[in-house]
Amino acid sequence: MTEGPLPGGLDHAAEDARRAQLLSTEHWSLLATRSMSWNEAFSRTGTFLSTLSAGTVALALAGPAMSFGGAFALFALIVLSVTLFLGIATFVRLVQVNNEDLYWVSGMNLIRAEYARLSPGIEKSFVSGHTLDTEGIARTFGAFDVTSNISPFHMLVTTPAIVAVISSAIAGVIAGLLVIQVGHDVIVALIAGAIVFVAAVVISITYAIRENKRYIARAIDSRLPTSIDSTE
């Protein structure tokens, strides 16, 4: 660091110390924001799964009582439709949380890069990343070997994907029930349900990928000092 007076009366050492303190405060603020976002995500996911469980129990109890007749089909469609709505809303919010988390992580990496500038060599002690390239972001998330060994099926084990698959299954069941109600047999209902299930999964994955790209372009590339794809 360069010693000497600054125009405001502070020397460079004092200014760097104040800068480090401010950066540390911002770092903890971003960390707290990430924590709140993920608490919301877990809460929403838990609410969805609890509602699904309650709906399944309700259907299991109502079926024999209604002799699995037309009234039961109507009841099932209502319960499943409400559960599907909650599942879709949960999935959309989880996608948003993932994108927002990427923004907070990018900001934290920028702060670590500034730490490295203030104290050259300290980056060797960082476990998390301090750059905005793919490797730096992945390192902060704890994901290694992102360039070669990452599985293409990784997205299927994420929380948004799990909610999307369950919601798609509910949509398939609703489609099957509707097909049966209009007079078709069970085989046709199963085929219709399978088609709706696959279509819903594909739509969910496409939506998540598109929103991620849009968010990076709109909120990260345009607002952070450097692009997330840069290799500074």
Q: Is residue 32 in a domain?
A: yes
Cα-Cα-Cα-Cα torsion 157, 94, 205, 201, nearest 10 degrees, comes to 80
Q: Is residue 97 in a domain?
A: yes
CA separation for the pair 12, 122 (Å, rounded) = 19
Residues in the chain with pLDDT values less than 50? 1-3, 9, 227-232
Range of the domain at 40: 12-220
Cα-Cα-Cα-Cα torsion 178, 185, 60, 201, nearest 10 degrees, comes to -60
The per-residue pLDDT for range 124-179, each reduced to its tens digit, is 888 888 887 777 888 888 766 555 555 667 677 889 999 999 999 999 999 999 99
Q: Is residue 144 in a domain?
A: yes
Q: What integer pLDDT is reported at residue 24 of this predicted model? A: 84
Distances from the Cα of 179 to the Cαs of 53, 173, 184, 186, in angstroms? 24, 10, 6, 8
Q: What integer pLDDT is reported at residue 216 of this predicted model? A: 81
Q: What integer pLDDT is reported at residue 124 of this predicted model? A: 84
Q: What integer pLDDT is reported at residue 107 of this predicted model? A: 87
Q: Is residue 107 in a domain?
A: yes
Q: Is residue 162 in a domain?
A: yes
Q: Is residue 230 in a domain?
A: no
Report helix, strand or coil for 205: helix
Q: What integer pLDDT is reported at residue 86 of this predicted model? A: 96
The label of the residue with tokens 């990430």 reads 34
Q: Is residue 29 in a domain?
A: yes
CA 17 to chain centroid, in Å, comes to 36
Tally of domains in the chain: 1
Q: What integer pLDDT is reported at residue 130 of this predicted model? A: 83
Q: Is residue 227 in a domain?
A: no
